[in-house]
């Protein structure tokens, strides 16, 4: 999948990514604590050009504390429209 100068994905896979993200209101934010235990939270989000993702969380919640400590996270967008037995086209989006 390529990316245009505006950050929008190009090609059929890119169109799938765009459709899933545009149809989603929540991403799953995955972090880990100091012991390496995973933690995931659904977060309401907005994005700019599919290259910048934003959400608002209290600095006191677990995922915020994990990000502040390690500064690493991953988000996952997936289609809630998939029928049983069909792939849901999960799109992992690493944060930098």
DSSP per residue, 27-88: EEEEEE-TT--EEEEEEE-EEETTTEEE----TTSHHHHHHHHH---EEEE--TTPPTTS--
Residue 57 near residue 11, CB atoms below 8 Å: no
Superfamily in which the 2-94 domain is placed by CATH = Electron Transport, Fmn-binding Protein; Chain A (2.30.110.10)
Residue pLDDT, tens place only, 37-95: 999 999 999 888 777 889 999 999 999 999 999 888 888 877 666 666 665 555 555 55
The pLDDT assigned to 88 comes to 57
Whole-model pTM? Answer: 0.65
Residue with tokens 């993702």: 53
The pLDDT assigned to 68 comes to 92
| CA-CA-CA-CA dihedral for 54, 59, 62, 64, to nearest 10 | 40
């Amino acid at each position: 999948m390529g990316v245009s100068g505006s950050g929008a994905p190009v090609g059929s896979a890119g169109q799938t990514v765009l459709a899933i993200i545009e149809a989603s209101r929540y991403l799953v934010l995955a972090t880990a604590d100091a012991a390496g235990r995973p933690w995931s939270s659904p977060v309401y989000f907005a994005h700019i050009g599919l290259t910048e993702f934003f959400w608002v969380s209290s600095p006191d919640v677990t995922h915020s504390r994990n990000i502040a400590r390690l500064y690493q996270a991953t988000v996952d967008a997936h289609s809630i429209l998939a029928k049983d037995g069909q792939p849901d086209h999960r799109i992992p989006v690493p944060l930098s």
